[in-house]
Amino acid sequence: MAELYITWLNALDVEQLALTDEEIIGAVEGGLRAQGRGETVIEPRMHLVPDPAFNGHFNVLRGYVAPLDLAGVKVVGDYVDNYKQGLPSEFGILNLFDPRTGRPVAILDATAITEMRTGAVTALGGKYLASPKSKVLGHVGARGTSYWNVRLLDRLYDFEEIRVHSRRKESQNAFAERLSRDLGKKVVAVDDWRSCVEGADIVVEASRLNAPEPMLRTEWIKKGALVIPYGTMSAVELSLTDIMDKMVVDDWGQARAGKLGAMRAHVDSGRLSETTLHAELGQIVAGTKAGRERDDETILFWHRGLSLSDIAVGHALLDKAARQGIGQRLRYA
């Protein structure tokens, strides 16, 4: 057998590569477009819970993106209490393969990839589903992905007002200060859910609840808003779907499977189904389904996280790393 090598990009390499906002959004948008054109394969995510006492689990995401000529498997941990040890809640590894032979191509630290691609999907939901007149963002949650949600949405909308809230005041204030510094504008930390989301044009719910609890009230959502809930445990009322003119997901196969997710009870009760679903976001990006058509449409976008987006950002990192000579070449065989 011929000598085989793989590329290894660690967390320091990913940080040094410093993908721009446009590079991140462009990569993920390309992956969504491929999905909408039927050029991808997505396997529903799987979960591993080592021990309920650890208050965390692993997600295993699998997919194939034909235009990128890559298949990928990402394993990412999601541990709610990691902050107590000064650790991020999510650690991940992305494995990329040649889809024709199964040959390993690369291994990448996927902690930052997970954060960036999640923020990009949130932002692209905004691009296609929010009113172009949106000026107020209400964001609940301050975990790693939350930063990229706000940063990339603001890149597209240049908000006049950004409100953030988190159940831990110290993380909430640090989150607002970091965003204010990086975005060059005031980001307001508020002390309750209602003050954060009521009347906002775009509402993002990325909370870290230990169990489902209806913290976000349907009555606080303004007509014409875009609501993006994606917490692992549901924080919305069952009535949320009643006020929606359109409901969109990233992938229906993933949305209807599993036991976790912000809209799980809505799927289980039939409120969100193949009948009530308007589209997958990829179909809208590819132009086969309509996005927002009127300013007064109230729209729900639920994304669970796509392996395709991980692969797309991983591909962008590998391409940039090759051009800049960053990363390590490891002997495989």
Could you report the per-residue pLDDT of 14-29, keeping only the tens digit for each?
999 999 999 999 999 9
CA 74 to mean position of chain CA atoms: 14
Same domain (yes/no): 167, 255:
yes
Per-residue pLDDT tens over the stretch 177-193 = 999 999 999 999 999 99
The strand pair at 202-205 and 299-302 is best described as unpaired
Are 129 and 196 part of one and the same domain?
yes
141 and 250 belong to one structural domain: yes
Same-domain check for residues 108 and 126:
no
For residues 295 and 323, membership in a common domain is answered with no
pLDDT of residue 169: 79
83/134 same-domain check? no
Query: What is the C-alpha separation between 94 and 272, in angstroms, rounded?
Result: 31
Assess whether pLDDT exceeds 80 at residue 321. Answer: yes
286 shares a domain with 139:
yes
Same domain for 228 and 159, yes or no, is yes
Q: Which two tokens stand for residue 269?
A: 């009760």
Q: Please list, residue by residue across 248-270, b when 16 or more beta carbons sit within 10 angstroms of its beta carbon and e when fewer do.
A: bbbbbebbbeeebbbbbbbbeee
Looking at the 3D structure of the chain, how many domains does it have?
2
Is residue 47 within 8 Å of 58, Cβ to Cβ?
yes
Same domain, yes or no, for 204 and 275?
yes
Q: What CATH code is carried by the domain that includes residue 33?
A: 3.30.1780.10
Q: Which range of residues forms the domain containing residue 77?
A: 5-113+308-331
Encoding tokens for residue 294? 């009127």
User: Which residue blocks in the chain are alpha helix, DSSP H?
Assistant: 11-17, 21-36, 111-129, 144-157, 169-183, 193-197, 252-255, 264-268, 281-285, 307-324
Q: Would you state the pLDDT for residue 131? A: 97
Residues 263 and 277 reside in one and the same domain: yes
| CB-based contacts of 13, cutoff 8 Å, min separation 6 | 109, 321, 326, 327, 328
Q: At 286, which CATH number?
A: 3.40.50.720
Residue 99 and residue 131 in one domain: no
Shared domain check, 273 and 238: yes
How far apart are alpha carbons 23 and 65 in whole angstroms?
Answer: 18
pLDDT at 330 over 90: yes
As beta bridge partners, residue 95 has 73, 107
Residue 260 has pLDDT above 80, yes or no: no
Phi then psi dihedrals of residue 36, to 5 deg: -65, -25
Instruction: Tokens for 85, please give them.
Output: 């040890």
